[in-house]
Amino acid sequence: MYRSHPNVSEGRCKKGPDTWGLVSEHCSGRSQSPVNIVTRRALQDERLTPLHLTGYQETFHSLIMNTGHGVKLDLSSKMRIQGGNLPATYKTIQLHLHWGKDGGLGSEHLIDGEQFPMEMHIVHIKEKYDSLSEAVTDRTGVAVLGFFFQTNMTKYFRYEGSLTTPDCAEAVVWTVFEDTIPLSRKQLTAFSQLQFSDGKPMVRTYRPVQPMNERPVYYSRGHVASVSTMLLILAALVPSALSLHTTA
């Protein structure tokens, strides 16, 4: 069962995503995430050119944290993404992970109904904003890169959606990469050893897919995205999870 988001009291959210509409009206909106991406319905879009990343190669200091409701790594705001028909330049704020139980299925997005063991979200906000809470007031104020673990990563999908935790603001430009990142069963299972703030096993930390409500999904033509530096982050991130401790 998906546990509470830090901005929502445990008591009001402990029953899981089905009750989030009672917590925030946004969670019952018509542009919610995640979704099941049906590839044969995706519209090929010539504007989805390579994403351009800057600052990802620079060294920065941060801590990977078990926040009591998930795993998060704060990122340097010097990292930027642009291109790929994004409406602005965005700066990073953090990345976090969603997973299942004991290495089982746990991604949030699905591709043609297929779920993957884990999904990583790298969260960005427009340069002009100072915080996520400020950015979500803008319909395209947030840009999230979504990666599946299972690497080519040359093709991606684009659609407009929401945050996947309350308040579920519909202010996200989603870029979901089709290809997956390999990860061993042992590494995946390690995340199931973490605990929520109430001491229960931290498993199934994903939100179920939401209705598309006739939203279009666009598909790139196989342009290469500059994501090799992200993989360096991942290489250091996953083994580190073995020794995480709850900080909230």
What is the rounded CA–CA span in Å between residue 96 and residue 38?
25
Work out how many domains the chain is built from and give that number.
1
- Asked whether the beta carbons of 68 and 5 are under 8 A apart, the reply is no
Residue 23 lies in a domain: yes
Residue 1 lies in a domain: no
- Asked whether the beta carbons of 76 and 58 are under 8 A apart, the reply is yes
Residue 203 lies in a domain: yes
pLDDT at 230: 55
pLDDT means per 10 residues, the chain with 248 residues, are 43 67 89 95 92 79 80 88 95 92 89 90 96 96 88 76 94 88 76 86 92 94 54 50 47
- The answer to whether 96 is a known catalytic residue is no
Residue 5 lies in a domain: no
pLDDT at 209: 96
Residue 248 lies in a domain: no
- Asked whether the beta carbons of 70 and 44 are under 8 A apart, the reply is no
Domain enclosing residue 124, as ranges: 10-243
What is the rounded CA–CA span in Å between residue 17 and residue 178?
25
What is the rounded CA–CA span in Å between residue 213 and residue 143?
21
Residue of 37, 51, 84, 64 whose CA lies nearest to 212? 37
Residue 108 lies in a domain: yes
Residue 3 lies in a domain: no
Q: Which helix (H) or strand (E) holds 110?
A: strand 110-111
Question: What would you measure as the largest C-alpha separation in the chain, in angstroms?
Answer: 48
* Cα angle value 88/71/8 (rounded, 5°): 80
What is the rounded CA–CA span in Å between residue 161 and residue 151?
26
CATH of the domain at 220: 3.10.200.10
User: Could you say which of 69, 98, 109, 124 is catalytic?
Assistant: 69
Using CB atoms within 10 Å of the CB of residue 25, give its burial: 0 to 12 exposed, 13 to 18 middle, 19+ buried: exposed
pLDDT at 11: 43
- Asked whether the beta carbons of 145 and 133 are under 8 A apart, the reply is no
Residue 29 lies in a domain: yes
| pTM for this predicted structure | 0.75
pLDDT at 246: 45
**Backbone torsion region of residue 199, taken as left when φ is above 0, otherwise alpha when ψ lies between -120 and 50, otherwise beta:** left
For 71-86, give one letter per residue: b (16+ CB within 10 A) or e: bbbebeeebbbbbbeb
For 89-114, give one letter per residue: b (16+ CB within 10 A) or e: bbbbbebbbbbbbebeebbbbbbeee
